[in-house]
Chain A
């Protein structure tokens, strides 16, 4: 089945710094989602991005489907950005999202 790998596993930033999180997937996909799991455990949708680039405030994402990767950019990071960032892609049957293991981001003031 499809494999989803995220890097780096952990990231520590000072407030105001920028960062790039990467998601590699093993097979061609027709959609990809990025989520933020906050310290309270809630999963928040960030981007639904099968291909191309999208921006939402300080966050943006780019998926290059032909090269099987997606990038999440966080600019001017804030302490509230802390948490775990997951990418997920559907399996071949389209019946489930396959999650990466996540990138744990800690932003300190």
Chain B
């Protein structure tokens, strides 16, 4: 049973370009979460999705950031017109989201560097 898969592991973008981060949840998990970690800091929640639905996007910046989790394929976090302040590690987590066991498992992260 493969874990949460994120790609790419490292991404370098010039200011103004677009960044697309992908996340495939664990098999059997229908709930996906995106978090951002700035250097020397903890993880900050961005968005929570289920298949084809955004459930909670309260942690996501209102502009330039969007997320989706289509019926088929991975979840995508998209950052348009990147700026240097977007440089961070972006982690995806998944959970079964049912019953009392909602343990979240994290991918290895995508480290975005904006130059």
Shortest Cβ gap from A89 to chain B (Å):
11
CB-CB under 8 A from B59, the residues of chain A are: 96
Given contacts A41-B109, A86-B42, A96-B59, contact A33 B103 (CB under 8 A): yes
Q: How many residues on B have C-beta within 8 angstroms of the other chain's C-beta atoms?
A: 25
B111 and A101 contact, CB distance less than 8 A: no
A48 within 8 A of B: yes
Given contacts A93-B56, A95-B55, contact A42 B42 (CB under 8 A): no
CB-CB under 8 A from B106, the residues of chain A are: 35, 43, 45
B33 and A97 contact, CB distance less than 8 A: yes
Residues of B within 8 A of A (CB): 33, 35, 41-45, 48, 55-56, 58-59, 89, 91, 93, 100-106, 108-109, 111
